[in-house]
Chain A
C-alpha cells in the first residue's frame, strides 16, 4: 500500500512542471523543496535523536556561503562546490557538536543558538571573506549537465531547477530513511528515549549524537548550497536564527520523527503566509496564535496526528509507533 502511494506521489511530482508552467507556483515549490531538505536535516538530530538544536540555520548559511565562495572565488563548478560545501557544513557540525553535545536539554538549545549567532556575526564582520553585510550576489546556477536520454540540461529555467531540487529532496529522504530504519536509527531513538538507559545498554551516546549532528549539518549545508544557486544572492541573514526557528516550526507542524513531517510542515507554512498576505502586519499575530494552537492541540504535528490517531482509526487498530521522550 505504502509503496504504491509513494510511486503515485513521485510520478505526480515529476510530471508537475508539465501542467504548472507559471513561474510563481514553481518558485513556491522550489522553496518548499529547499526548506524540506533543511527541515529533514534538523529532523535527524532533533526528531530522531531528541536533541533540540536551535541553531541549524548556521549550517544552512555555512553551506550557502561555502558553495557561493567556492564557485565565485575559486571558480569551481556547482557540481563540485555543492558537495564540498555540504562537507564543510558537516565539518562545522562536527566541530560545534563536540563541545555542544556535552550539554543537554535547555543548555544544548541555548548553546546551539549561541553558535548560530556567532556564525552570523562572523559572516557579517569578516568582510574580506564574505563581503560582510553587503552579501554575495551573482551566484551562478549549476553548470549544464549531459544526461543520458535527455541530452544537455541547462539549469536556467524554473522547471529545470525544480527537478534539481526535487532530485536532491528525494536523495535526502532516501538517505534519511535508510539511516532511520537501520540499527543506527534505532540507536538514535533509544538515545532520544532515555540517554541514561541507552548508555546502560552499551551505547556510546556521545559518539552517536555527534554523528547524527554531523549528518544533520551535512544536509543543512546541502540545502544552503542549493538555496545560494537558486536565489543568486545571499547575505548574513541567510544564517539568521529566525531561519532556525522556521525549521523548528516546520517540524512542529508537520510532526517530528516522521519522514513526511518536515515536508508537510514546509508546505503548510509556506502556503499559509501566502494566503494571509492581505493581513499585513496582523499576519504575524495570526502566525503566533497559530503556533500556540498547534503546540497545545496538535503537539505531534499533522503527520503525528495522522499516524497516531487518524490512520489507526481508518485501519481499525491502534498503532504503537511513537517513542516517548525523556526530558
Chain B
C-alpha cells in the first residue's frame, strides 16, 4: 500500500471532517439544549454561503472578512426563529417539532430558489486554487483555512461553555432540563442563545463551504443528513462527540472513496451504516454522559 497516498487520504479525511464539525457542533448544541430535531440547520449553512457570495461579488469583501458578518447575521436569525417558531413547540411531540423545522426548510429553500435562482455559483479569490505542499501531501489552502476556522470556533465555543455563566447553564440544561429550572436557570434565555449560537456556527460553515466548493439553494441538503448522523453518533449535546464523529465520518468517507471500488457511490451510505453500528452498541451516542 502506497504510504504517500494513504497519508493523503487521511489528510483529506481530516480536512473534510473539519468542515463537517462546524455544522455538527452547532446542531448538537441545539439538540442538547432543546432536544429539538432541527432540520433547518442546513439552511443556516446555505444562507451563510449566499451572504458570503453576495458580499464578495457585489462589494468585493473577502470571505474571510465575511465570517464575522455571517456569524452575527445567522445568530440574529437563529434567535428570531427560536423565539417565534421553535419556542411554541418546545414541549410538543417530536412529530410536531420535526414538521415545524421541515416547514421552515421548505420556505427558506424555495425563497432562495426564487430570489437567487437555482444556478450553481462559486467564488474565486486570489487565494483559491493554491495548495500547500507538506512533503508528499497536497492540501488545498481554502480547505486548510476552513479547518483552521472550524478548530478556532470549536475551541471558542468550548471555552464559552466551560467558563461563562451562560455556558454553564447550557451544560446544566443539556444534562437535565427540569433540574436546571429548579436551580433557577433561565431556560428560555438559554434556548434563545443556544439556537442563535448553533445557527451562527452553521453560518460559519456556510462561509467555509462557499470558499471551498459551490453554492446553490439546496446546498444545505448535502450536509444536513450527515450532520444528523454525526450528532447522533457523538451524542446529543456533546461538542467533543460532534468533533470526534465528524472526524470519523470524514475519514471513513475518504477511505471508502479511495480504497473501495466504486466507493464514491457507497460513501454516502457509509455515514448511516456507521451511525447504526454505533447506536447498536451505544444507543445514546459515543459521548453521552449518563
Contacts and interface: CB of A to CB of B under 8 A. Distances in A.
Do A and B interact directly, with beta carbons closer than 8 Å? yes
A327 B96 contact: no
Contacts of A296: 85, 88-89, 100
A121 B269 contact: yes
A138 interface: no
7 contacts: A111-B232, A111-B275, A288-B103, A288-B110, A291-B100, A296-B89, A299-B93
Given A121-B266, A248-B98, A281 B114 contact: yes
A136 interface: no
B104 A288 contact: yes
A107 B95 contact: no
Interface stretch (B11-19, B163-171, B196-204, B276-284): B276-284
B92 interface: yes
Q: Is the interface of B mostly helix, strand, loop or mixed?
A: helix
Interface string B21-39: 0000000000100010100
A82 interface: no
Contact of B37 (A100, A109, A256, A291): A109
Interface stretch (A112-120, A147-155, A169-177): A112-120
Interface in A73-128: 99-100, 102-107, 109-111, 113-115, 117-118, 121-122, 125
A299 B96 contact: yes
B265 interface: yes
Contacts of A103: 279, 283-284
A107 B107 contact: no
A296 B88 CA distance: 7
A102 B280 contact: yes
A110 B100 contact: no
Among B94, B266, B284, find the residue whose CB has the most chain A CB atoms closer than 10 A. Answer: B94
Contacts of A248: 95, 98-99
Contacts of A294: 99
A50 B110 CA distance: 32
A292 B106 CA distance: 10
A325 interface: yes
A262 to B, nearest CB: 13
Contact of B89 (A102, A117, A121, A295): A295
Interface residues of B, number: 47
A44 interface: no
B223 interface: no
Contacts of A292: 85, 100, 103-104, 107
A182 to B, nearest CB: 24
A249 interface: yes
Q: Is the interface of A mostly helix, strand, loop or mixed?
A: helix
B225 A113 contact: yes
Interface in B106-137: 106-107, 109-111, 113-114
A114 B72 CA distance: 32
Contacts of A252: 95-96, 99
Contact of A118 (B31, B35, B272, B279): B272
A228 interface: no
A282 interface: yes
Contacts of A156: none
A226 interface: no
A281 B229 contact: no
Interface in A185-222: none
A109 B276 contact: no
B232 A327 contact: no
A287 B94 contact: no
B94 A109 contact: yes
Contacts of B37: 106, 109-110
B94 A105 contact: yes
A33 to B, nearest CB: 23
A105 B35 contact: yes
A284 interface: yes
A52 interface: yes
A46 to B, nearest CB: 6
Among A100, A114, A117, find the residue whose CB has the most chain B CB atoms closer than 10 A. Answer: A114
A325 B88 contact: no
Contacts of A284: 106, 109-110
B236 interface: yes
Contacts of A122: 269
B225 to A, nearest CB: 7
Nearest to A297: B88
A327 B37 CA distance: 13
A114 B100 contact: no
B29 to A, nearest CB: 14
A54 interface: yes
Nearest to A245: B102
